[in-house]
Amino acid sequence: MCGIVGYIGTQTAIDILVHGLEKLEYRGYDSAGVATIIENQIHSVKAKGKLYNLRSKLEKESSIAKIGIGHTRWATHGKPEEYNAHPHLDGQGKIAVVQNGIIENYQELRQQLKTEGCEFVSDTDTEVIPHLIAKYYNPEVDDAFMSAVNKTISRLDGAFAIAVLCVDFPDELIVARQNAPLTIGFGQGEFYCASDVTALVHHTTTILTLENGEIARLTPLGVEIYDFSGQRLRKAPRTLDWSPVTVEKQGFRHFMLKEIHEQPAVVRTCLEAYINSNWEPNSNENPVNLNLSPHIYEDLEHIQIVACGTSWHASLIGKYLLEQIAQIPTFVEYASEFRYSPTPIMRNTATIGVTQSGETADTIAALEMEKQRRIIATNEYRPGILGITNRPESTLATIVDQVINTYAGIEIGVAATKTFLAQVMSFYVLALDLGYRRQKISAQRVMEIINGLSQLPNQMEQILHSEEEKIKELASDFPDTRDFIFIGRGINFPIALEGALKLKEISYIHAEGYPAGEMKHGPIALLDAHVPVVAIAVSGSVYEKVISNAQEAKARDARLIGVVVENDTEDIFQDKLVIPEVDELFSPVLSVIPLQLLSYYIASLRGLDVDQPRNLAKSVTVE
């Protein structure tokens, strides 16, 4: 949700800023802008729409500036117009600010600043920041720039990450963070900042993630970090084990397609990280290396999960696994609902926040609220808040007691694919760990589950190999289709939801996922020959039931597409997307792949921007 970058050093700032914005564009693409300092003046260029509009404006000028800030916007306050694009300036054009977040008290601040004579040129919440900095700026005091930014921050309510330039300090870039991500990159005599390390890895892998309540001064000589009270902090950067290649398309047309193809490797990585491959039924070791806090293994009575979007779908599969494998009653909540109507506090309950980005505002706020509730309710906090994330350095990690890293690698496509499967894999591992250590499953069953999981990467590769071309061809049958229905039952009901979400978010086709048995209670009224129905009908306990529900759809003239196992003999499906025969328990890891490919090819054949669909952003850091 908006991306910010900053640079100070010896190279041409504009090139570095634009490259950084390109890597952050997945966070929002309603407008983009940069500001630099040239000859004691702020030079700002902005453009509505995607980054290429800004780039073509910048091509007409050459810049020698060695300091600058940049922004790519996902509109919250004010339309996606150029006048609302960042950077925002104070009235005299001496201070420039880019911001990611929301200033909740901006109306009140704006009103006050207006009565003091400030003129506003945008509808954004951000514009109050440069005006406040200008108001507090007193060139007579020591450290005037830093002091003015500090005073300004003390007036801001909400979540924000900012980067600020001031013409009187052409060798200083000031950045600050409060509940929105910001990382500093360290080079040789040059320093960077960005909302996400994806914008930094091309230049440096030496990074420092700013924490909430921290403000930093970047100069060509180094980085100084303070807390908001002005106390100097001593912090050491760390080295990231990423290569710039990780954030390239590597020959695929879109990041989404590349990320779909990376899924077998992601599953392998997860298994290598967490499953003890030498484990045998009579050994003294544990089959899973998660090492959760001991009391979780002993006292746990319930699990509640909070998540949004695709992570919520992964959590529904998690519920199934935790209940069926570990016998722990599990509740899955939308984080955005849980925040305002939480379930009453239950004894011995672990809460799990599931978020690939680790930054989703609703999930973060729900977990913070839950932590506070528990401290107040019990007077004694027992570690019981876990996070499942692909970003162990994210805000989530600062809240939870323990992070389960999903090891999916950076995901750039706005539509989550490999991070979804990585979350699902984390739930297999967690359920197996809890089930075994709490003696809810036999050693024999543990072996069966480990064997089943270990075969998944090859089976996934088989689907990608045998089904992709067929699915591409099938996708061409729906150039004008306006509605799709996805049905599934049991562990594959969340896959119906996920298939529908993937299709709607990247192809803009109306799509709904339903538990197959619920169709006849209302949604079946939607069906006719123009509404294709995708049924996940893999072998297992609910196979016949799903087939009956698919029959009911066929009787209403719907075109039926089945996700079925090899050698399925059912002939009601007009099209079959085939996955290898597996135990039902593992089937979602396979059944989701044809649906990801189907939505990808439908959107791609429609010529849509698959990686950056309209109105969306990868990381939703606003409520």
Among 330, 363, 604, 612, binds ligand M6R (CB under 6 A): 363
**Which CB sits closer to ligand M6R, 150 or 360?**
360
Binding region for ligand M6R (CB under 6 A) out of 191-199, 315-323, 352-360, 547-555:
352-360
Quote the Cα angle for 476-482-484, to 5°: 80
The reply on whether position 310 binds ligand M6R by CB under 6 A is: yes
Cβ 357 to ligand M6R shortest distance, Å? 3
Distance CA 423, CA 428 (A): 9
The reply on whether position 411 binds ligand M6R by CB under 6 A is: no
Cβ 415 to ligand M6R shortest distance, Å? 4
Beta bridge partners of 163: 98, 175
Tally of CA atoms within 13 A in the half-sphere of 117 that contains its CB: 4
- Kindly identify the residues of this chain, within the stretch 578-617, that bind ligand M6R according to CB under 6 A: 616
Strand 533-536 and strand 560-565: pairing? parallel
The reply on whether position 311 binds ligand M6R by CB under 6 A is: yes
The reply on whether position 416 binds ligand M6R by CB under 6 A is: yes
Choice among 2, 118, 166, 270 that is catalytic: 2
Tokens (6 digits) for 608 = 């849509």
Binding region for ligand M6R (CB under 6 A) out of 150-158, 221-229, 306-314, 552-560:
306-314
**Which CB sits closer to ligand M6R, 287 or 499?**
499
**Which CB sits closer to ligand M6R, 494 or 562?**
494
**Which CB sits closer to ligand M6R, 74 or 543?**
74
Number of Cβ within a 10 Å radius of residue 222: 10
Cβ 209 to ligand M6R shortest distance, Å? 17
Which residues contact residue 291 at a Cβ distance below 8 angstroms, ignoring those fewer than 6 apart? none
Strand 95-103 and strand 67-73: pairing? unpaired
The secondary element (H helix, E strand) that includes residue 70 is strand 67-73
The reply on whether position 260 binds ligand M6R by CB under 6 A is: no
DSSP conformation class of 480: S
**Which CB sits closer to ligand M6R, 36 or 336?**
336
615: left (phi over 0), alpha (psi -120 to 50) or beta: left
Placement of tokens 């950056």 in the chain: 612
Among 9, 33, 309, 490, binds ligand M6R (CB under 6 A): 309
Tell me the DSSP string of 131-189: HHHHHH--TTSTTHHHHHHHHHHTT--EEEEEEEEETT-TT-EEEEEEBS--EEEE-SS
Which residues contact residue 525 at a Cβ distance below 8 angstroms, ignoring those fewer than 6 apart? none
Among 256, 408, 415, 429, binds ligand M6R (CB under 6 A): 415
Q: In what order do the strands lie in the sheet with 349-354?
A: 330-334, 302-307, 349-354, 385-389, 402-405
Among 99, 304, 336, 360, binds ligand M6R (CB under 6 A): 360
The yes-or-no answer on residue 2 being catalytic is yes
| Contact indicator for 191, 237 with CB cutoff of 8 Å | no
The reply on whether position 421 binds ligand M6R by CB under 6 A is: no
Cβ 621 to ligand M6R shortest distance, Å? 9
The reply on whether position 356 binds ligand M6R by CB under 6 A is: yes
Cβ 306 to ligand M6R shortest distance, Å? 10
Which position's Cβ is nearest ligand M6R? 309
Cβ 333 to ligand M6R shortest distance, Å? 13
The reply on whether position 620 binds ligand M6R by CB under 6 A is: yes
**Coil vs helix vs strand at 31:** strand
**Which CB sits closer to ligand M6R, 26 or 573?**
26
The reply on whether position 414 binds ligand M6R by CB under 6 A is: yes
Distance CA 381, CA 293 (A): 13
Cβ 310 to ligand M6R shortest distance, Å? 3
The reply on whether position 355 binds ligand M6R by CB under 6 A is: yes
The yes-or-no answer on residue 618 being catalytic is yes
The secondary element (H helix, E strand) that includes residue 95 is strand 95-103
**Which CB sits closer to ligand M6R, 269 or 311?**
311
x/- contact string, 472-501, with ligand M6R (CB under 6 A)?
-----------------------------x
Cα dihedral sign for 123, 124, 130, 132? positive
Distance CA 603, CA 597 (A): 10
The reply on whether position 336 binds ligand M6R by CB under 6 A is: no
Among 148, 200, 288, 308, binds ligand M6R (CB under 6 A): 308
For ligand M6R, how many residues bind (rule: CB under 6 A)?
17
**Which CB sits closer to ligand M6R, 215 or 308?**
308
Radius of gyration of the chain (CA): 26
| Three-class secondary structure assignment of 232-258 | EECCCCEECCCCHHHHCCCCCCCHHHH
Distance CA 327, CA 320 (A): 10
**Which CB sits closer to ligand M6R, 31 or 360?**
360
The reply on whether position 622 binds ligand M6R by CB under 6 A is: no
Known catalytic residues are 2, 618
Binding stretches for ligand M6R (CB under 6 A): 308-311, 355-357, 360, 363, 414-416, 501, 505, 616, 619-620
